[in-house]
Amino acid sequence: MKKVLVIYNPVSGAKKLRNMGRVIQKEIDRLGYSYDWHETKPKFDDFGGFENYDRILVVGGDGTVAKVAEYMVKNKVRIPLGIIGTGSTNLLALSLGIPVLNTTKAVEFALKREAKPMDVGLVNGKKVFLIAVGKGYDNVFMRGATRELKRKVGFFAYVWSFLTTYFAHPKCEYRISVDGKMYNVIAKTVLVFNFFRLSSKSFGVGFNSDDGLFEVVAVNPTSFWDLLKVMVFFVVGRKSAKHPKVSFFQGKKISISSEKERGYQIDGDVYEGGDLEVEMVEGGVRVVRP
């Protein structure tokens, strides 16, 4: 009998998890797998024995998936990784076209579909990300959506964070190195994307997860109207089109520094620190996806 390891974050989407635990177990049984459960707390890195499993299912949000992927990359684990999204946004699952509203379908998808290589990013030689690392307003925005607030109001924690932080946060100068070539930009936020799509459908600005390249995006809206136009650009535009408030760069090795901005976010989790050094790990994990 094939065996699956279910890794879950007891904090991420805690209410959802209490309700879906039995649903997950029932579906795994139906599909003919045996299984073990493992919490990400208190210290996920203490876990070993991945070689005993045929698949790994991560039950949690984007940050939880990134932490498991980090362990797998550092320990060269190549077992297929399935995602059961229980976070506040589940951006990775939505972007990949993985079911998020129906737990039964999500489990079936994770256990029956094919796993494909996915690039990952390595930040300062330590942290792994699947979606993006951001510096500037992006970091402030994520800090404003506290875990306690997300637990109470879910996605609306991000709405509250935006309304209370956006207009007060200034733009500043960033020095960006892309594969050794230097750029100086004025921006409100700078993000390094490994992968991003507003949906699994092919519209709007999107970045691939298997092309071996990062997309660096510097955004500098100076008014609320500018911000709306930037948002519309990302929803209906194309990366090849130009926008006066958005700068794109592409490369494998990125560094970002700023004298004013401290801290950064990785797939929604915030960290203290100054400069960012970001490196590409091509095909770092095998993720179950369309």
pLDDT in tens, 92-116: 888 888 988 888 999 999 999 999 9
Q: What angle do CA 29, 33, 39 make, to 5 degrees?
A: 90
pLDDT of residue 203: 47
pLDDT band, residue 199 (cuts 50/70/90): low
Whether 202 shows a pLDDT value over 60: the answer reads no
- Better-predicted residue by pLDDT, 55 or 9: 55
Q: Which two tokens stand for residue 218?
A: 């510097």
Q: Which two tokens stand for residue 93?
A: 């699952």
Residue 19 has a CB neighbour count (10 Å cut-off) of 11
pLDDT of residue 158: 79
- Measured distance between the N- and C-terminal CA atoms of the chain, rounded to whole angstroms: 25
Whether 240 shows a pLDDT value over 60: the answer reads no
Torsion of CA 90, 92, 98, 101, to 10 degrees: 10
Range picked from 168-182, 190-204, 259-273 for highest mean pLDDT: 168-182
pLDDT more than 70, % of the chain = 89
Host H or E run for residue 91: helix 91-96
Report pLDDT digits (tens) over 8-45: 877 655 555 566 788 898 999 999 999 998 887 656 56
Decide: 251 and 179 in contact? Cβ < 8 Å: yes
- Better-predicted residue by pLDDT, 36 or 144: 36
**Cα–Cα distance between 137 and 135 in angstroms, integer?**
7
Furthest-apart CA pair in the chain: how many Å? 59
Question: What value does the mean pLDDT take over residues 226-238?
Answer: 75
DSSP secondary structure code for residue 75 in this structure: T
The bridge status of strand 264-266 relative to strand 132-136 is antiparallel
Across all residues in the chain, what is the average pLDDT? 85
pLDDT of residue 245: 85
Whether 122 shows a pLDDT value over 50: the answer reads yes
Q: Where along the chain do the CATH 3.40.50.10330 domains lie? A: 2-113
Least confident stretch, 77-91, 190-204, 271-285: 190-204
- State which fold the 127-282 domain adopts: Tumour Suppressor Smad4 (2.60.200)
pLDDT more than 90, % of the chain = 41
Provide DSSP, 94-138: HHHT---S-HHHHHHHHHHSPEEEEEEEEETTTEEESSEEEEEHH
Question: What value does the mean pLDDT take over residues 212-230?
Answer: 87
- State which fold the 2-113 domain adopts: Rossmann fold (3.40.50)
pLDDT of residue 253: 97
Q: Where along the chain do the CATH 2.60.200.40 domains lie? A: 127-282
- Better-predicted residue by pLDDT, 163 or 172: 172
Of 255, 258, 204, 250, which Cα lies nearest the Cα of 230? 204
pLDDT of residue 62: 87
- Better-predicted residue by pLDDT, 81 or 260: 81
Give strand ranges (E) for the chain.
2-8, 33-39, 55-60, 81-85, 115-123, 127-129, 132-136, 172-178, 181-187, 189-193, 214-219, 246-251, 253-257, 264-266, 269-271, 276-288
